[in-house]
Structure 1
Amino acid sequence: MIRRLVLIALICISIPCAAMAEGAKFGIVLPLSGPYAAMAQDMKNGAMLATEQVNEAGGVLGGQAELIVKDSQLKADIALRRVKEMVEEENLTVIGGNLSGAISLVINEYACKNNLLYMSYCYNSLPVGKEFCGKGFTSAVIPYQNPDALATYAFKNLGKTWMSLSADYRGFHDMMASWMYNSDQLGGEFKGNIYHPLGTRDFSTYIPRILAESPDILVLNNYGADQIAAIKQFSQLGLTKKMKIVISKTHLHIAKECGKAYDNNIYGGATYYWNMNAAGEENKKFVEAFTAKYGAPPSGDAEAAYVGTKAVWQAIAKTGAADNVDALIDALTSMTIQTPKGSEQFRACDHARQQSILVLRGRGDQSKDWDVFEVVQEVPSEETLQSCENNKNNLPYGKVPIPTK
């Protein structure tokens, strides 16, 4: 009888304890199918690892941190539908993800209208001009930052004449504006741009025009499977021996897939490289944990998702709630975040992550396993991130005319 009473008492005690174990949810959308699928999977892996580590350390709000992941298929309407479903079905106030600057702006508009915190993982213009409503953050960078760092290096070291091959997509238009502006400032000579549709696999038709112009530098403003196809074909047809190729945003898996085609005549911009020179103990732990779990080191996209996700959980823990958006924003903009690159912050005025840009160079047949890049230069954020006032007014890049089709 006594044992039964004790058991009943223990059950009664455990019920309110379980009720108190709230935990928190964070919903993200990623293009897990489509031309950016491999990069999106890397982002998902980074976000999942961050959440797993938070739970191993005790979780949040007395319970588990739960990451909900949906496929956007790289389509704005589907991405928005998936976000709305998560918000309504899971009662979410914190959303994130994305690997498209254009889709990020659609989700950001929804977040602004519905008082949601939006932590975007990709390159986008949320901190700039009319796009900034105070609800969105980016754990990557603004699209103009990579070209700013690359152009400064390229026009000083690789030549002056240049042309570009660009996917006809919002984020790459922003990158083009940065190249155009920096070309004017640094004495570059622009010889034309070629737009290609997203999802292009045959780039051979563009080569005669590129050879006819014979620039010192060919700039690639594309990503994912498009970039892989372009590099492989340009290498096979000898283009990489005739000019330097500079890629506005590149990726670890792209260089790995291209193999020796991604040689030392190809340069690329990134926010992170797993073997970067200045990395310390925090990066070592991140690389070891990621590689052990997923069989390959993390890319820049994985690092951005990892940092953005950890920052969200840290903000929720700091505020003690997942539904007070204003308090979460205050926490994110006031705390220092420990990232694989070191101590960083989200700037309070525009929620931009203050981080460096890397100028990378391909190793080609000198690559060893996943060590596919040489870090040529690391450019601090103060040299690429425009002032709060300039971002507010979309200056200087927003006033730059870009080539038409």
Structure 2
Amino acid sequence: MTTDDFGNAGFSRRRALATGAAGLALAASSFRINILKAQEGPIRIGFPCPLTGPYGAEAQNQVMAAQLAVQEFNDAGGLNGRKAELLPRDDKLNPGEAATRTLELIENDKVNFIVGSLSASVQLAINNITKERKVIFNSISQSDAINEASDFSRYTFHEAMNPHMTAGAVGRYAFSKLGKKVVYLLADYAYGYEMARGFQRAGKDLGAETLAEIKHPLGTTDFSTLLPRIQAMRPDILCIINFGRDQQISVKQATDFGLKRNTKIIVPVMLYTARVAGGAQAFDGVVGGTSYYWGLEDKVASAKKFNDAFRKMHRGAIPTDYGAMGYGGVRTLLEAAKMAGTTDTEKVVDAMEALKYDYYKGPQYYRKCDHQSVQSVFILQSKSKDMKTPEDVFDIVHTEEPSESVLRSCAELGHKA
């Protein structure tokens, strides 16, 4: 009987090395099998968004549109036969909840990609998780910060417009046509601050004057104490910077108070859902920007194709502005995976950076330095008559074409050349 170096009888050093080598080979083989299985399994897309709460209507439409992108990908054969699946999760419009759901999607559900969010602060919380774990996140909510070097990563993409480009487009239109003296009524969080900054920056070159900035908490239901103060300043323009139900309520109450008699109301993002809920009279004449309106189908072929597919899948419903971004955010990732021929993260990032696409609104591409989607901004005016259908609620009065010139420069965002 032999004795090994540790005094164990009957187990030689040579046997130990042979056994260890066999174990390593088995482990390596198991690892390769797991990788192959992951490459052969479904392409899983995590989709955190606020399915409950004040932005619920917009979030539900995001999910509906994202489901369409997944269905079209699967119907076309997927990625070499691999199908995709969408995993929506309710982030409850809360950064902490969003971070938890995102972590679960990555670690428990083993998602390949993350798309979603509907709040500036929530998307930053999601992005913090995804960039640490090197998972691609395509944000479909407006934010300026997510493009800045301090928050950005190679794995961060931004399908949504950002406040600088949105407010800038609306401001350039409004301050050149509707007046110069402006009061800002804004929601007291990142969305409000960033949009106000975008308006004021655009207004600086056009001679716009800020009379006041009045902030209100998220979820405000009574603006009556603020409206007399606004009226007393006699602004040419009241710029209401809020979202979802807040927009619906504030615009209606401003209209009921009679502010429209001497003041034009503008908003940075003109929401289809808020307009429908608020009513034709309340929103009549209000001007705002959007990344998408279904009425584009009269002029843009990709919008017509997208609308028709959405109607077919969802019993005649139409996609909203934020819904369209849900579609674009998912479809770009799936198309990039097809281009790359794999779901390998690094290769998909490279494919996303090279993508030139027109899936639902006209030409788009991701700027290299910050992965911001360069795209058109549409200026809408709400109407209360001459509507061909109940969904025909806006006129597109101006289009600002895609251009990097309307974005903050890469250097300003902190990105090195």
Whether TM-score is above 0.5 comes out as yes
1:112 to 106, 131, 150: 131
1:65 aligns with 2:84: yes
Aligned-residue offset at 1:276: 2.2
1:76 aligns with 2:95: yes
1:385 aligns with 2:407: yes
* Structure 2 residue aligned with 1:373: 394
Aligned-residue offset at 1:18: 10
Q: Is the 8 A contact 1:99 1:121 kept in 2?
A: yes
2:166 to 137, 146, 152: 146
Q: Percent identity?
A: 31
Aligned-residue offset at 1:278: 7.0
- Separation of aligned partners in 2, 1:225 and 1:20: 42
Aligned-residue offset at 1:128: 2.2
Aligned residue type for 1:245: I
2:382 to 353, 362, 371: 362
Q: Deviations over 1:275-303 (max 9, x none)?
A: 12774322111111112333321111111
Aligned-residue offset at 1:102: 1.1
Greater relative contact order, per chain length (Cα 8 Å cut-off, separation 6+): 1
When residues 263 and 80 of structure 1 are mapped into structure 2, their CA distance, relative to the original with a 3 A threshold, is: closer
Most deviating of 239-248 and 257-266: 257-266
* Structure 2 residue aligned with 1:167: 187
* Structure 2 residue aligned with 1:256: 276
* Superposition map of 1:260-275 within 5 A: 260-275=280-295
Aligned-residue offset at 1:150: 1.0
- Separation of aligned partners in 2, 1:23 and 1:316: 13
- Separation of aligned partners in 2, 1:301 and 1:283: 14
Q: Is the 8 A contact 2:296 2:304 kept in 1?
A: no
2:224 to 204, 207, 213: 204
Most deviating of 257-266 and 140-149: 257-266
Q: Normalised by the size of structure 2, how large is the TM-score?
A: 0.86
SS of the aligned residue for 2:147 comes to: coil
SS of the aligned residue for 2:47 comes to: strand
1:101 aligns with 2:125: no
- Which of structures 1 and 2 has the bigger CA Rg? 2
Aligned-residue offset at 1:332: 0.3
Q: Is the 8 A contact 1:120 1:138 kept in 2?
A: yes
Gaps of 5+ in 2: 1-35
Aligned-residue offset at 1:262: 4.2
- Separation of aligned partners in 2, 1:26 and 1:332: 16
- Separation of aligned partners in 1, 2:324 and 2:331: 11
Q: Is the 8 A contact 1:55 1:65 kept in 2?
A: yes
Q: Is the 8 A contact 1:22 1:61 kept in 2?
A: no
- Separation of aligned partners in 2, 1:155 and 1:132: 32
* Superposition map of 1:15-54 within 5 A: 21-54=40-73
Q: Deviations over 1:305-341 (max 9, x none)?
A: 101101111122222332x222111000112223212
- Separation of aligned partners in 1, 2:158 and 2:132: 18
1:246 to 254, 266, 269: 266
- Separation of aligned partners in 1, 2:149 and 2:236: 34
1:282 aligns with 2:302: yes
SS of the aligned residue for 1:329 comes to: helix
Q: Normalised by the size of structure 1, how large is the TM-score?
A: 0.89
1:304 aligns with 2:325: yes
When residues 18 and 145 of structure 1 are mapped into structure 2, their CA distance, relative to the original with a 3 A threshold, is: closer
Q: Deviations over 1:240-274 (max 9, x none)?
A: 23210110112111112222234443101111111
Gaps of 5+ in 1: 1-16, 395-405
Aligned-residue offset at 1:136: 0.8
Q: Deviations over 1:131-165 (max 9, x none)?
A: 22221111111111111011111111001100110
* Structure 2 residue aligned with 1:123: 142
SS of the aligned residue for 2:294 comes to: coil
* Structure 1 residue aligned with 2:19: none
Aligned-residue CA RMSD (Å)? 2.0
SS of the aligned residue for 1:186 comes to: coil
